[in-house]
Amino acid sequence: MNPPSMNREHMSKSIPEFQTEDEEREFWAIHDSIEYLDWDRAASAIFPELKPTTRTISLRLPESMLNGLKLLANKRDMPYQSLIKVFLRERIDRELHGEFSAARH
């Protein structure tokens, strides 16, 4: 069910000014944007140059697992680190979208 449409002049809350991105992130984590924005008037945006923030981690794997990953990556003509990210993304998406949650309960 969609929320009732709101015109900007009927919205009672204005978005505060934020000093940092962390402050803004904390604000939106506990506030619903529908109270601040008229999503009926929103336009889609594409950011072709936007790169996701990444963090370097250290991960210990059994040699046999690493060798298997390298073999699979070679078959796909891609770096094994990229294949690990693909595998993780696929599994995370499945877990978050419920494919495995029913089996646990």
Q: Is the pLDDT of residue 63 over 80?
A: yes
Q: What is the pLDDT of residue 22?
A: 93
Q: What is the pLDDT of residue 10?
A: 53
pTM, two decimals, is 0.49
Residue ranges of domains in the chain: 8-104
Q: What is the pLDDT of residue 12?
A: 66
Phi, psi of 54 (to 5 degrees): -120, 160
Q: How confident is the model at residue 56 (pLDDT cuts 50, 70, 90)?
A: very high
> What CA–CA distance (Å, rounded) separates 44 from 34?
16
Q: What is the pLDDT of residue 46?
A: 85
> What CA–CA distance (Å, rounded) separates 16 from 59?
40
Residue whose structure tokens are 């992130």: 25
Category of 98 on φ-ψ map: left (φ > 0), alpha (ψ -120 to 50) or beta: left
> What CA–CA distance (Å, rounded) separates 58 from 7?
50
pLDDT tens digits, one per residue of 9-31: 555 688 999 999 999 999 999 99
